[in-house]
Amino acid sequence: MAMMRLRREDPRIVGAFRLHRRLGAGGMGVVYLGSDRRGQRVALKVIRPDLAEDQEFRSRFAREVSAARRIRGGCTARLVAADLDAERPWFATQYVPGPSLHDRVAEEGPLRAADVASIGAALSEGLVAVHEAGVVHRDLKPSNILLSPKGPRIIDFGIAWATGASTLTHVGTAVGSPGFLAPEQVRGAAVTPATDVFSLGATLAYASMGDSPFGHGSSEVMLYRVVHEEAQLQGVPDALAPLVRACLAKDPEDRPSTLQLSMRLKEIAAREAQGLPSARPPAPRERTEERGTLRPTERYTERDAPGREPERAGAQRRGPGPSSRPSAPARTGGGSRNPQSRPGTRPGVRTTSTGRRPANPRLLRQRLIVFVVVTLVVALGIAAAQALQG
């Protein structure tokens, strides 16, 4: 995260925290890097003077901070302290080292499907905790997601929209905000957890494509597209595109829940990770007789491995190729022997890789009976001989 030196007008001490650097500025105020006497680092936001004079804002701000205290979970920046009665209200959250998702994509380009799914799964799980606390983020976007060494973290939850202002009030405070707002926000309707699902879908599309799914343009143009036009998802991997499109449904009722989203993204992340070229060794060839006896999980794994299904289907259509191992001779009614078979074997009997016939249960039972009978006869003979000598 980029840091800037403190300006002359910036405070040096707020509450119990000493301020060191500027982390950024937005529609609500300025965010600073601070620390307490124990050295704990925090991201501290001080509210703008004009908002501090608005009593309605203060009351809304107090309710949002109270709700934020109830959020539990490792995917959010924990609220450390706040002063709602200060001349300029402020709050401090745990400092999260690492770039934002927006900066990472801007510097390195779109992320791999496995990485996008993994980040999305963690964010979905974090939103479950946020919503259970009665908070709706309302401003989820790439710049509000920090990629820490311990995983993605959501910042500025539920506070950026505490004033209840219209969408255009804060346009320009963060890159691409109009392209990540849900249609109900643009219309001024009530927000719900489904609102965050829409924003998360737009964020995952951005991480996959390096651009907003609603393109570029003025705020009015972008907001019109969000409400009336379908998202453009060219460039989103096929594994993610259907789920992202479901998140971007215009009707909140048509979007998946955060819990459903988390579970599905975990599945996609695992599958994409296994599908990497070096992720798994080639599967062993199957014998023709055993292809119909695979367990469902084995069949699923092979079917979903990249490039394997067309190859197997093609092999079934073409039959064994020149490099295939010779198959066992077909059984015929004439009883003719295979010239290459081992002496003493019957025609048409399948052998193992060592050239021996597989064990016959009926033959094993017969041999066991003969062995027992012979053993008894020998034992009786020995006993009779000893009796005669005595």
The residues assigned a catalytic role are 139
Q: How far is CA 273 from CA 36, 48, 75, 108, in A?
A: 41, 45, 22, 20
Q: How far is CA 242 from CA 26, 112, 230, 231, 356, in A?
A: 34, 16, 13, 12, 53
3-state SS track over 114-134: HHHHHHHHHHHHHHHHHHHCC
Residues contacting residue 126 through CB under 8 Å, at least 6 positions apart: 73, 74, 75, 76, 152, 153, 154
Residues contacting residue 371 through CB under 8 Å, at least 6 positions apart: none
| 3-state secondary structure (DSSP) of residue 23 | strand
Q: Whole-angstrom Cα distance, residue 125 to residue 148? A: 16
Contact 88, 47 (CB under 8 A): yes
Residue owning tokens 């309302």: 138
Q: Whole-angstrom Cα distance, residue 162 to residue 82? A: 15
Residue closest to 30 by CA, chosen among 15, 58, 11, 16: 11
Q: Whole-angstrom Cα distance, residue 272 to residue 180? A: 26
Is 266 assigned a ligand-binding role in the annotation? no
Q: Whole-angstrom Cα distance, residue 43 to residue 80? A: 9
The answer to whether the Cα torsion of 333, 337, 342, 345 is positive or negative is: positive
To 10 degrees, what angle do helices 113-132 and 258-274 make? 160
Structure token pair of residue 146:
């920090």
- List, as residue ranges, the binding site for ATP: 45
- List, as residue ranges, the binding site: 45
